[in-house]
Amino acid sequence: MRDAKYNVAVAGALGMVGTEMMRTLERRAFPISEFRPLDTPENVGREVVFDGKVVPVQSATQQNFKGIDIAIFSAGAAASRELAPKAVEMGAVVVDNSTQWRMDPECPLVVPEVNPDDLKWHRGIIPNPNCSTIQMVVVLKPLHDAGRIKRVVVSTYQAASGGGRRGFEGLTAEVHEYLATGKRVVPQVHPVQLAFNAVPHIDVFQEHGYTKEEFKMVNETRKILGDNSIRVNPTAVRIPVWYGHSESINVETETKITAAQARKILSAAPNVMVKDDPGNDIYPTPLDSNDVDETMVGRIREDLTIDNGLNLWVVSNNIRKGAALNAVQIAETLVAMDLVRVPERM
């Protein structure tokens, strides 16, 4: 609805992603009439500054969604399972950053650059995909349109902040202790020390030796791209950087796409930044993602072992595009497509 303003709540407002959601709403000048930060009971009464105004934190309860048009959740799966349907009952459209609703067939799993039209069949809850999946499908979608992807082999190199504030602070503590002692430290978050290490273990192991994080990438990619025939073979690794997930992606397509064609296709793709001149040391790194909204891609080259293969190096800020930004973009797309119910205000 053009020129309308919306009452917006962020549930889990004081968490790492919730804080970034607030910053993103401000930075992108989302049309807000009332902003309502919600969190756990022990944080009620704390204050946040939003759009230059001091706003008290309220409890994330059903009644506090009354009058809210868009509720953006970053409060974890258990809270979302309980509260998201209640927020919808109160009239809000929910954009949820947890794992709770992603594979629910009644809920569209959306990356706005990839499948915005899926928002047309939402029933009130729209899950935000996994951070690793988001950055991968932003790059895969234009290649899929050009040559139809048959198979993807992806290895992720995921930042500590992918584990939230606990992951970020855990890596910080390990680094300080290791530098002070020079000895292996007691792991803070992972089964083994993350500082100055690489840990091929994110989430719990499932059947066939894959982790839950890896299965997310398989199932979510197929759902977002709308193609269950795509084969996805993932390995998820945590590395000792604070922000920015990296992915080494090997893509096999039905139709040949050369490296030059891929660069042209990706250069024209929405919110993709091509940084690909390795001869001059130009390629994306996690540090490059600190203040960047775009998904960056480099090291674009043809796979010399198969006829229709490409290798890509993809980097994105996991807290921004991998979480907060994608959620806000979903809200923006809902507004642009007039898919938010706005009750009359007194």
Helix (H) or strand (E) holding 172: helix 164-181
With beta carbons less than 8 A apart as the criterion, state whether 271 and 295 touch: yes
* SS3 at position 130: coil
Q: Is 99 exposed, middle or buried (0-12, 13-18, 19+ CB in 10 A)?
A: buried
| Tokens (6 digits) for 313 | 């190096």
d(CA 320, CA 21): 8
* SS3 at position 213: helix
d(CA 69, CA 58): 17
Q: Pairing state of beta strands 6-11 and 149-158? A: unpaired
Residue indicated by tokens 């067939």: 105
Neighbours of 275 (CB within 10 A): 18
* SS3 at position 149: strand
Which of the residues 131, 144, 176, 201 is marked catalytic? 131
d(CA 46, CA 253): 52
Residue 245 is among the residues annotated as catalytic for this protein:
yes
Which of the residues 122, 144, 190, 245 is marked catalytic? 245
Residue indicated by tokens 């899929």: 144
Of the candidates 336, 148, 317, the one whose C-alpha atom is nearest the C-alpha of residue 241 is 317
Instruction: Report the phi/psi class of residue 285: left, alpha or beta, with left for phi > 0 and alpha for psi in -120 to 50.
Output: beta
Q: Pairing state of beta strands 309-316 and 295-302? A: antiparallel
Q: Can you name the residues that pair with 99 across neighbouring β-strands?
A: none
Q: Which sequence positions are flagged as catalytic?
A: 131, 245
